[in-house]
Amino acid sequence: MNIRKTITKDVVLLDMTGQNKDQVIDELMDVLVDVGKVTQRKVALKAIWERERKMSTGMQHGIALPHAKCDVVDGLVVAFGIHRPGVDFESLDGEPAHFIIMTLSPANRAGPHIQFLAEISRQLNDADVRERILQAADKETIIDILADAEESGADSAGSEEE
């Protein structure tokens, strides 16, 4: 998985402003529509919400991974948002989400979708990576941090300090 090809400056939101789960999902979808990665917003949103209703994609450590499969994308698409104050995402640990990563992939292709979710989860489980991203002043720095974490293959076991 090449983070630099998957997460580009045009799909990173540095300072999300949504006040709830609905609003942040809309913000991320707007990014994907604005850059032309999603052309059928309603269909894509419906898929995200169908998946979200089954079980919240709010994880632990401030991470939320709203994702879905639908046939309005040709391949894996990603939007990466930072919500510095945090937003309620019905997370497993009850903590607010600061890192909201939305993915969509075609219904008939599981590989890249699963691989990306596993990789980004591994990277963001590292407390140092999360802190560095929250402190980042620009999109390029965030992408560099994620790419460095990908390249180092930092073992998340033992790196979590919370």
Do 153 and 129 form a contact (C-beta atoms < 8 A)? no
pLDDT class of 158 with cuts at 50, 70, 90 = very low
For residues 139 and 8, give the distance between their C-alpha atoms in angstroms, rounded to a whole number: 8
The amino acid present at 17, given as its one-letter code, is T
The domain ranges of the chain are 7-152
pLDDT tens readout for residues 15-55: 999 999 999 999 999 999 999 999 999 999 999 999 999 99
Q: What is the three-class DSSP state of 20?
A: coil
| pLDDT tier at 154, thresholds 50, 70, 90 | very low
Pick among 3.40.50.11540, 3.40.930.10, 3.40.50.300, 3.40.50.970: CATH of 7-152 = 3.40.930.10
**Catalytic residue numbers?**
67
Burial (CB count <10 Å: 0-12, 13-18, 19+), residue 155: exposed
> Average pLDDT in the 110-135 region?
90
pLDDT digits (tens, 9 = 90+) for 78-118: 999 999 999 999 998 999 999 999 999 998 876 778 888 88
Residue with tokens 């939320």: 64
- 16: nearest Cα among 102, 95, 91: 102
The model carries a pTM of 0.89
What the block records as the tokens of 54 is 């089954």
Task: Please tell me the predicted confidence (pLDDT) of residue 157.
Answer: 39
Residue pair 65/117 in contact by the 8 Å Cβ criterion? yes
The b-or-e profile of 51-76 (16+ CB within 10 A means b, else e) is bbeeebbbbbbbbbbbbbbbebbeeb
Given a cut of 80, whether residue 1 has pLDDT beyond it is: no
pLDDT of residue 107: 87
